[in-house]
């Protein structure tokens, strides 16, 4: 039986969306309901799993039957291991393939996550051309309103997907427990919104800013005032372009609840998982890795250096001779420039330059005379005295 998500039109799911709630308010649970609906419709889905809880999609709610054959990259339940350098490779697989997947970043350090995410988002934007539902857990971590130095490029890569990604097929879902921390370049580009329980005034204020650009202010204030009182899993679906604003209780998920904190002595693992074709995935990874290696700038530079060395050997030139000659030329140029600046050869240089310039002007005048059959003088103005007033340029 397919999951029914109340009051979310298909048209709203084909646009960018923000899902916000304080921790424990049910935002990940709500997003899981939406993702199940997308998978039932055979949509292309990629989930950036910041906390490592999306593996439950592979099993039914009771953990006894297979559910969705979604590939897990990275993390404790990885089908394919992941490291911080795999961003471009994985982006190519996602952009060119049709398999739904989760990318588990929970095992990486914050720095490694940022390096991976920056390269992944940039390359995914460059390569993707088909409809893709990109789900970003804890989106404020990847597009912070006030990020630490060094996060600017990552934030810009995420914002670019939300601002300009529609024409390239992106339908992005930003999930956050701190709307106030999510960059406005991302939040303002979301066409629809699901708001569950929010208590912090600054987070409700951020929602108010979204309402100013998308919805009715009076209706919005009523929504904002009621957010602290909502129950877990209860929230507002607001899709202004589709004329939808309704308070709803979201249904139960039909896949394994891997988001729930396990009770003491309980192993929060499903007994049965959906199978996937690991051989095909590994082949795709291997091909993508080979292509990435072939285009790696560091390796290309190393290959150029190797070829230069081989060429020098073939010409009977000692190894390193080319590099040494380049350095000698550079040093000589610096020495001559220093001598000019120090005044040792400035006067002769200026005089020689003037002679060359005079010859150039005279030659040009002669050519004009020949062409026009007229007389054109080409006197050069006298060199002004050091303190002479600036002479107006002749018309």
Question: CATH 3.40.50.300 residue ranges in the chain?
Answer: 10-276
Instruction: Find tokens 């393939």 and name the residue.
Output: 97
Instruction: Give residue 265's pLDDT.
Output: 60
- 291 token code pair: 């292509």
Query: What single string gives the DSSP state of each residue in 316-347?
Result: TPPTTHHHHHHHHHHHHHHHHHHHHHTTSSHH
Encode burial over 238-262: b for 16+ CB neighbours within 10 A, e otherwise.
bbbebebbeebebeebebbbbbeee
Q: What are the respective helix, strand and coil percentages of the chain, to the nearest 5?
A: 50, 15, 40
Instruction: Find tokens 């040093």 and name the residue.
Output: 331
- 393 token code pair: 């340029």
DSSP annotation of 179 reads G
3-state secondary structure of 156: helix
Alpha-carbon span 186 to 51, nearest angstrom: 21
Please name the residues in contact with 259: beta carbons below 8 A apart, sequence gap of 6 or more: 28, 29, 32, 53, 56
Beta strands 234-239 and 244-249, pairing class: antiparallel
- Compute and round to an integer the Cα radius of gyration of the chain: 32
Alpha-carbon span 20 to 160, nearest angstrom: 21
Each residue's pLDDT, cut to its tens digit, for the chain (395 residues) gives: 344 455 799 999 999 999 999 988 989 889 999 999 999 999 999 999 999 999 999 999 999 999 999 999 999 999 998 899 999 999 999 999 999 999 999 989 999 999 999 999 999 999 999 999 999 999 999 999 998 888 999 999 999 999 999 999 999 999 999 999 999 999 999 999 999 999 999 999 999 999 988 888 889 999 999 999 999 889 999 999 999 999 999 988 999 999 877 666 666 789 898 998 888 877 777 766 666 556 555 665 666 677 667 666 666 666 666 677 777 877 877 777 777 666 655 555 556 666 666 666 666 666 566 555 555 554 444 444 444 444 444 44
User: What CATH number labels 10-276?
Assistant: 3.40.50.300
Instruction: Give residue 308's pLDDT.
Output: 67
Helix (H) or strand (E) holding 244: strand 244-249
C-beta of residue 182 within 8 angstroms of C-beta of residue 5: no
Instruction: Give residue 281's pLDDT.
Output: 79
């Amino acid at each position: 039986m397919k999951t029914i998500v109340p009051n979310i039109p298909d048209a709203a799911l084909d646009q960018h969306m923000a899902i916000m709630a304080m921790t424990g308010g049910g935002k990940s649970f709500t997003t899981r309901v939406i993702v199940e609906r997308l998978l039932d419709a055979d949509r292309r889905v990629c989930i950036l799993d910041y906390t490592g809880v999306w593996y439950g999609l592979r099993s039914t709610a009771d953990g006894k039957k297979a559910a969705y054959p979604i590939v897990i990259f990275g993390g404790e339940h990885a089908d394919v291991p992941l490291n911080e350098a795999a961003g471009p490779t994985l982006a190519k697989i996602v952009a060119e393939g049709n398999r739904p997947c989760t990318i588990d970043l929970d095992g990486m350090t914050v720095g490694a996550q940022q390096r991976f995410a920056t390269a992944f988002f940039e390359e995914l934007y460059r390569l993707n051309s088909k409809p893709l539902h990109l789900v970003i857990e804890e989106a404020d971590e990847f597009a912070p309103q006030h990020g630490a130095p060094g996060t600017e490029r990552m934030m810009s890569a995420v914002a670019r997907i939300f601002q300009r990604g529609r024409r390239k097929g992106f339908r992005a879902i930003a999930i956050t427990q701190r709307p106030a921390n999510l960059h406005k370049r991302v939040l303002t580009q979301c066409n629809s919104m699901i708001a569950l329980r929010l208590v912090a005034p600054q987070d409700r204020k951020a929602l108010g800013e979204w309402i100013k650009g998308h919805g009715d202010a009076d209706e919005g204030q009523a929504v904002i005032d009621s957010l602290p009182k909502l129950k877990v899993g209860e929230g507002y679906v607001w899709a202004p372009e589709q004329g939808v604003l309704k308070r709803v209780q979201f249904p139960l998920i039909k896949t394994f609840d891997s988001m729930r904190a396990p009770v003491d002595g309980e192993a929060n693992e499903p007994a049965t998982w959906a199978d996937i074709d690991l051989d095909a995935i590994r082949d795709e990874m291997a091909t993508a890795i080979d292509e990435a290696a072939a285009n790696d700038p560091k390796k290309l530079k190393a290959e150029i250096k190797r070829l230069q060395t081989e060429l020098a050997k073939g010409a009977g030139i000692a190894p390193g001779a080319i590099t040494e000659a380049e350095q000698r030329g550079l040093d000589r140029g610096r020495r001559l420039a220093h001598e000019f600046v120090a005044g040792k050869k400035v006067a002769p240089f200026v005089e020689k330059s003037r002679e060359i310039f005079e010859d150039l002007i005279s030659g040009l005048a002669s050519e004009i005379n020949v062409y026009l059959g007229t007389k054109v003088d080409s006197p050069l103005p006298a060199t002004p005295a050091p303190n002479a007033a600036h002479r107006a340029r002749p018309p």
